Amino acid sequence: MHRDFLYAEDMQVCRVQQGDLTETYELLEVLEEQKEMKELLYDCAMNPAQTNYAFVAKVMDQIIGAFVITKDVNLDYYVSHFHVQDHVLVSEQERKGHTRLIYSCVNPIFERATRFILKEMLRLTQKTCLYFEI
């Protein structure tokens, strides 16, 4: 475990803002799909009414992760093509409570905190189910 991971208790997850973009772009430099993710982050920072949410995770005011999720999913598609009902009681979940992870990037030092970051994103967006397409 890296010593910087000890600061994970001070982690904050918040919506991306204009001032976060430069540092976030530096984090994304190693990704193959960095162009698409940069465009989505920029759109979400400039236009909060965008169809996606973008979040950054910070430790001591340093960005250690960036995530993009959708505001809505095609739930009928997931139910008809996958066995979602085997894992989630779809009838007991609000239709607006579902979201899909589009992009994510985390500093490997803080990889163990990914679960906490995802739970915080769900809490901030008032969602209950998170889908990820492979």
Give Cα 127 distance to the centre of its chain: 12
**What's the mean pLDDT in 30-50?**
90
Residue length of the chain: 134
Residues 6+ apart with CB under 8 A from 71: 51, 52, 53, 99, 125
pLDDT tens readout for residues 69-98: 998 888 888 888 888 888 888 878 788 888
Q: Locate the DSSP E strands across 3-132.
A: 11-15, 52-59, 62-70, 98-106, 129-132
Q: Decide which of 3.40.50.2300, 3.50.50.60, 2.60.40.420, 3.40.630.30 is the CATH code for 3-132.
A: 3.40.630.30
Indicate if the pLDDT at residue 3 is higher than 80.
Answer: no
Give residue 89's pLDDT: 83
Indicate if the pLDDT at residue 26 is higher than 60.
Answer: yes
Q: Which of 48, 120, 57, 129 is nearest to 88 (CA)?
A: 129
Domain limits, the chain: 3-132
